[in-house]
């Protein structure tokens, strides 16, 4: 297969370009269907004239269906796209990058989706879809408890979930308190959305993200909080994002003293309420109820999801000292990480 692709690139370079372009079109239709031609052309940064020719070809091949509401993939189109994804990893050298990142970050699995979510927000949905596939692959036969953190990347996972018989018996729980952040990015909201879309069940943790010592000691002794904490610590799978330190501190309305401390100590990453410098050392911790770093060693499967070239330093810092088994990222972050 690799030899054939190399020959095609040399003798028929235009063929590979056309293949890549049609692959991008099919991917975006799958993500956003039903979608109109003008919206599709705008998001793919293509002229409507060129796009019209391409989607007409795809329709004639039975891969795309037209309707008054917009374009959708046909059953055959969905099947072809699934097969094409395997091939495109070799065409775009994605598989090579995955192997290089596994070695560089000391992580068991790396899954890279094409594109850069900094430039194209819809790439985040592709990461979410890849993460959904990993969730299904890592389900145990019974008693699955999935703990999730907040953030836009994990919210994309919730958005891409669909009803699935394998997930019906799954319990979704928030990995930590999250009141105080934007509602759509809170762990509770994401947890409930996942359960609804997957037809599973959920439990919520109604506590703030940041607590004083007195408030922490009072809340953690509450029976209802202890009950949900026991479930969280029994999680069989955790999905979490990796944030840029300054961005996360501002989002949490951190005090001026905390912001100054993070700046002085060169914080670059945040996860689970911990802030890390570029070598992966913990330089600040938010007092919060939920999963702590020391709890992760008891959890069978941990999936980190973060993308965009701007997240490269944060991913690198977190993974140096707290490697998960699996990283889901995008091409923008992967290229920036390998360049480092």
Using only C-alpha atoms, the chain has a radius of gyration, in whole angstroms, of: 21
pTM exceeds cut of 0.85: yes
User: Residue 9: what pLDDT?
Assistant: 66
DSSP strand pairing (237-241 vs 301-305) = parallel
pLDDT computed for residue 36 by the predictor: 92
pLDDT tens-digit series, residues 88-145: 887 778 899 999 999 999 999 999 998 899 998 889 999 999 999 999 999 988 889 9
Between CA 150 and CA 48 the distance in angstroms is 37
Which contiguous run of DSSP H or E holds residue 284? strand 282-285
Angle at 23 between CA 9 and CA 29, to 5 degrees: 170
Q: Which residues in the chain show pLDDT less than 50?
A: none
Q: Which domains does the chain have, with CATH numbers?
A: 2-91 (1.10.10.10), 94-339 (3.40.50.1360)
């Amino acid at each position: 297969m690799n030899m054939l692709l190399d020959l095609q690139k040399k003798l028929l370079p235009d063929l590979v370009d056309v293949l890549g372009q049609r692959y991008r079109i099919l991917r975006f239709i799958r993500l956003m269907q039903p979608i109109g031609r003008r919206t599709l052309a705008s998001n793919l940064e293509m002229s409507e004239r060129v796009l019209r020719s391409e989607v007409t070809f795809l329709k004639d091949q039975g891969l795309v269906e037209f309707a008054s509401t917009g374009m959708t993939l046909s059953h055959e189109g969905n099947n072809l796209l699934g097969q094409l994804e395997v091939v495109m990893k070799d065409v775009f050298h994605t598989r090579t990058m995955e192997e290089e990142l596994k070695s560089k970050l000391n992580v068991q699995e790396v899954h890279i989706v094409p594109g850069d979510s900094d430039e194209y927000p819809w790439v985040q949905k592709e990461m979410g879809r890849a993460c959904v596939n990993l969730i299904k692959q890592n389900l145990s036969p019974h008693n699955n408890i999935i703990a999730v953190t907040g953030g836009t990347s994990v919210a994309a996972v919730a958005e891409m979930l669909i009803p699935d018989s394998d997930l019906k018996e799954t319990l979704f729980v928030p990995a930590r308190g999250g009141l105080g952040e934007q509602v759509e990015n809170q762990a509770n909201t994401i947890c409930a959305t996942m359960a609804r879309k997957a037809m599973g069940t959920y439990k919520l943790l109604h506590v703030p993200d940041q607590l004083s010592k007195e408030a922490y000691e009072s809340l953690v002794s509450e029976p209802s909080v202890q009950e949900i904490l026991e479930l969280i610590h029994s999680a069989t799978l955790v999905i979490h994002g990796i944030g840029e330190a300054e961005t996360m501190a501002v989002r949490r309305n951190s005090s001026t003293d905390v912001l100054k401390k993070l700046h002085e100590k060169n914080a670059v990453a945040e996860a689970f309420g911990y802030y890390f410098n570029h070598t992966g050392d913990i330089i600040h911790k938010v007092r919060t109820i939920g999963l702590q770093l020391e709890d992760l060693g008891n959890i069978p499967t941990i999936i980190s999801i973060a993308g965009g070239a701007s997240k490269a330093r944060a991913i690198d810092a977190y993974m140096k000292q707290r490697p998960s088994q699996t990283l889901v990222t995008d091409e923008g972050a992967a290229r920036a990480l390998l360049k480092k």
